[in-house]
Chains A and B, each alone.
Chain A
Amino acid sequence: MTSHSRSCRLAAVVAVSMGLGSNVHAADPIKIGIPVGLSGANSVVAPSVVQSAELAVEEINANGGILGRKVVLEVADDGSGAAGAQKAFDSLIFRKKVDVLISMETSAARNAGLPIVTRGKTPFIYTSFYEGRSCNKYLYVNAWVPDQQVAPIVDYFMKKYSAKTYFLVGSDYAFGRGMLEFTKSYITSKGGKVLGEEYLPMDGTDWTPIISKLKAAKPDALITSTAGGAPNVTLTKQLRAAGITIPYGNLAVDEGTAKSMGIDAEGIYISGSYFTNIASPKNKEFLAAMAKKFGANLKTPNDLSVPQYEGVYAYKAAVEKAGSTEADKVIPALAEVSFEGPRGVIKMNKQRHAPLTMYLGKVKADGGIEVLETFKDVDPGEQCPKLK
């Protein structure tokens, strides 16, 4: 053939292969962004959250990924606070261009990140328990809110210890204040009385003046709601060092942090949606898989890390239902899909929040939890009535 038609043929082959090539590029990995408190107050819990996500992603990739695409994690440190969260969210949404954010964070970090999520039009599955009523077009929550969590502890104290007077201690930010505001109105509605309500900044470590006030007030019971992680440990250590032995309900401690407190944690009452000794087959499977993957480095799965595992799977289900990762399609799909995980069947269909089975437990001397009562499918209440 002539050299002219040969170069035409060549050009055609190149054009077709480039076309094919761009189809191959369409199988880009799906990026899941995880802004989490690797430093600061949440740093005690963050490693367990990252581990949950890593296991979920490993399992999903082993089963063909999502819509045939591999899943990749991008983890960023939000410093457990607002300033760090701005940097982390900016970097994940605008530089790394993640398809979704799935993570557990302090309320301060979440509130700072939400405007960036709105600007970046990125779905955000929040996997941490929190004070409730955070509403955003792109936000879904698969963990508990006070409407699901506070009643078991207060009811138990009133029943078993005839506790009429309470002292409330918390970290001074949205979560601490929001939880205790709910708790105070619940206690008052049940005929109890709140003798004092004290707050320390999230990164504060010296609880001495608050503990002195607590002792002076002589309440029947103590209920606390600090940021997850370090503040729980410092407060409990200092309480025990000061000889406080009244019934102590902690609204914000998870099993992993309780274990790290050692003997000081014994006797604390906690209420949550996950404990490692839940007897379901799915939980046993999950724990076995975690132990196999992480071995001696395993951080105790807890109420802040297990929703992360379920969150990743919920996203997978929503993307498969929507047929794409586009936010406009995934957002409505997230309310319609469900996933059966270690906590049971989770569906975020109540105003972006999920009905959950809650457990009331007591920390034992060895760090394990003794489950006292179980409440099935507790409704999250009116969280975002204005959101469509």
Chain B
Amino acid sequence: MATLLDIVTTAAILFAVGAGLLIVFGVMKIINFAHGGFLTVGGYSALAVTRLGWNPWFSLAFAFVIGSVCGMIIERLVVRPLYARPLDAILATWGLGIIIGQLITLAFGREVQFVQSPVSGAVELLGSSYSEYRLLLVGIAVILALVLGAVLNATRLGLVTRAVIMNENLARGLGINSGLVRFATFSLGAGLASLAGALITPLSSVDPNMGVPWLVNAFMLVMVSGVSLVSLGVACLVLGGAQVLVSSWGNPILGGLTIVVLAALVLRFRPQGFARD
């Protein structure tokens, strides 16, 4: 029972971390290697909230806003000039990730620090007690998925975005301002990464390089998910579940490798991954 909850909560965390990367990949066809840096920005936004003594719940909204603003600035200055050169854009985002890490070190120091959790303790669930905060994360991930789904499927911006995802040149030919879509998407992706960073910190800690391990896992999950949020959810459950099982029955060190190894195997045998096609 606890293992099942472990799987579901781990999948929720992975989904929250991966959603922003997926959206950026879908629209802009580049992997945003600064995603780890935005995660770190979110973690430190939560730290700032703790330091200022505000309500810990506020850190989620605060992190999202800070992340989006950073995303907007970066899209304008770094990514837009590189539209025509996607490989260079990927390299630029990698460098950006490093710069973000160093700026945070200058501002906050190198040491590991800790953030206040909005809820603490365990709740009784189906016969065993389980961490309340982890269960909360499942709820938040579900809400996130629903909101993103709604935006993509039920709004004009979503429609336009889906058109750009399908075929950017054709969309532009129809008069859609793809530059605006890219701008909005990158900012949203950065905001989501930042939000995810704020979500994961109460469970552990913040340090200037906290985003890097998550980046690797998020990257592999996005690679097997194609462009669909649904297939991302499935990938998170399957690969995240495998990670939990390997960690529980084998050891956590092998567990850390599971997602990467399995993702590579999936892509070898089914190049479109979990996407429908």
Contacts and interface: CB of A to CB of B under 8 A. Distances in A.
B2 A216 contact: yes
B131 interface: yes
Contacts of B207: 39-40, 43, 230
Contact of A47 (B111, B120, B129, B202): B111
A233 B111 contact: no
B130 interface: yes
A240 B205 contact: no
Given A41-B112, A201-B252, A234-B205, A208 B121 contact: no
Nearest to B128: A215
B46 to A, nearest CB: 14
Contacts of B130: 242-243
A43 B111 contact: yes
Contacts of A204: 252, 256
A241 interface: yes
Interface string A327-363: 0000000000000000000000000000000000000
Interface residues of A, number: 36
A210 to B, nearest CB: 7
Given A199-B251, A209-B255, A229 B132 contact: no
B244 interface: yes
A200 interface: yes
28 contacts: A38-B110, A39-B208, A43-B112, A43-B207, A44-B111, A47-B111, A199-B251, A199-B253, A200-B252, A208-B10, A208-B134, A208-B247, A209-B247, A209-B248, A212-B2, A212-B248, A230-B205, A237-B114, A237-B204, A238-B203, A241-B117, A241-B122, A241-B132, A241-B133, A241-B134, A242-B122, A242-B130, A264-B120
A38 B134 contact: no
B110 A260 contact: no
Contacts of A233: 112, 114, 205
Contacts of A242: 122, 129-131
A39 B120 contact: no
A77 B110 contact: yes
Contacts of A66: none
B155 interface: no
B121 A212 contact: no
B54 to A, nearest CB: 17
A281 to B, nearest CB: 33
A213 to B, nearest CB: 7
A240 B121 contact: yes
B6 interface: yes
Contacts of B55: none
Interface in B156-189: none
A205 interface: yes
A194 B257 CA distance: 28
Nearest to A229: B112
Given A38-B111, A40-B112, 8 more contacts: A39-B207, A41-B112, A208-B244, A237-B202, A238-B204, A241-B120, A243-B121, A243-B131
B3 interface: yes
B248 A39 contact: no
A241 B110 contact: no
The main secondary structure of chain A at its interface with chain B is: helix
A229 B252 CA distance: 20
Interface of A: 38-41, 43-44, 46-47, 77, 172, 198-201, 204-206, 208-210, 212-213, 215-216, 229-230, 233-234, 237-238, 240-243, 260, 264
Interface string B104-140: 0000001110100100111000001111111000000
Interface residues of B, number: 34
A209 B252 contact: yes
A241 B131 contact: yes
Nearest to A172: B253
A180 to B, nearest CB: 14
A132 B50 CA distance: 39
Nearest to B252: A200
B6 A212 contact: yes
B252 A234 contact: no
Contacts of A240: 120-121
B10 A39 contact: no
Contact of A201 (B2, B120, B202, B256): B256
Contact of B114 (A46, A198, A208, A260): A260
A234 B204 contact: yes
* A43, A206, A229, A230: residue with the most chain B Cβ atoms closer than 10 Å: A206
Contacts of A230: 112, 205, 207
Nearest to A244: B122
A226 to B, nearest CB: 13
Which 5 pairs between the two chains have the least Cβ-Cβ distance? A243-B122, A43-B111, A205-B204, A209-B247, A39-B110
Contacts of A201: 252-253, 256
Contacts of A47: 111
A215 B247 CA distance: 15
Given A238-B203, A240-B121, A212 B114 contact: no
Contacts of A172: 253
A282 B6 CA distance: 50
B131 A238 contact: yes
A49 to B, nearest CB: 12
Contact of B3 (A41, A212, A243): A212
Contacts of B208: 39
Interface in B201-259: 202-205, 207-208, 244, 247-248, 251-253, 255-256
Contacts of B253: 172, 199-201
A43 B207 CA distance: 10
A237 B117 contact: yes
Contacts of B121: 240-241, 243
A205 B203 contact: yes
Nearest to A215: B2
Contacts of B248: 209, 212-213
Given A213-B248, A230-B205, A240-B120, A208 B6 contact: yes
